[in-house]
């Protein structure tokens, strides 16, 4: 089964991740995270499967994140509010997100990809 790869084509990190996947012969279904952002329900599932803190799903280096002053909001908001915020704009989501339906990685670290996705 192909993996789902939520990405933004102009994102350098996404391009590096895609290159790594291609080099290792790993097929993915690419989803443009801005044109087709994951729904609140999909994000909740990804978050729960990842074992990460929800704040790790935010693109903290993004312009939108700074404009909306999310740095402080992320500390105080409920899980529901955070998921709602993430689902409202794909540019707020850290990328790429890669999942096989069970495992989830957020961002791209070669060592993590080696460990999680290499066959």
Residues above pLDDT 70, as percent of the chain: 99
Instruction: Give the pLDDT band of residue 2 (cuts 50, 70, 90).
Output: confident
* Pairwise CA distance, residues 56 & 62, whole Å: 13
Indicate whether 119 pLDDT > 80.
Answer: no
SS (H, E, C) 60-73: CCCHHHHHCCHHHH
pLDDT at site 1? 62
CATH classification code of 3-117: 3.40.30.10
Average pLDDT over the chain, rounded to an integer: 96
39-68: pLDDT as tens digits? 999 999 999 999 999 999 999 999 999 999
Indicate whether 70 pLDDT > 80.
Answer: yes
Indicate whether 108 pLDDT > 80.
Answer: yes
Q: What is the pTM of this model?
A: 0.94
Q: 3-class SS at 89?
A: coil
Domain range annotation of the chain: 3-117
């Amino acid at each position: 089964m192909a993996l789902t790869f939520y990405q933004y084509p102009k994102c350098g990190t996404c391009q590096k991740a895609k290159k790594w996947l291609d080099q290792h012969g790993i097929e993915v279904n690419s989803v443009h995270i801005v044109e087709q952002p994951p729904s609140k329900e999909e994000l909740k599932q990804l978050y729960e499967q990842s074992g990460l803190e929800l704040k790790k799903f935010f693109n903290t280096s993004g312009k939108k994140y700074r404009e909306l002053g999310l740095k402080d909001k992320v500390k105080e908001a409920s899980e529901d509010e955070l998921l709602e915020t993430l689902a409202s704009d794909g540019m707020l989501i850290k990328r790429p997100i890669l999942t096989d339906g069970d495992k989830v990685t957020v961002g791209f670290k070669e060592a993590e990809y080696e460990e999680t996705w290499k066959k």
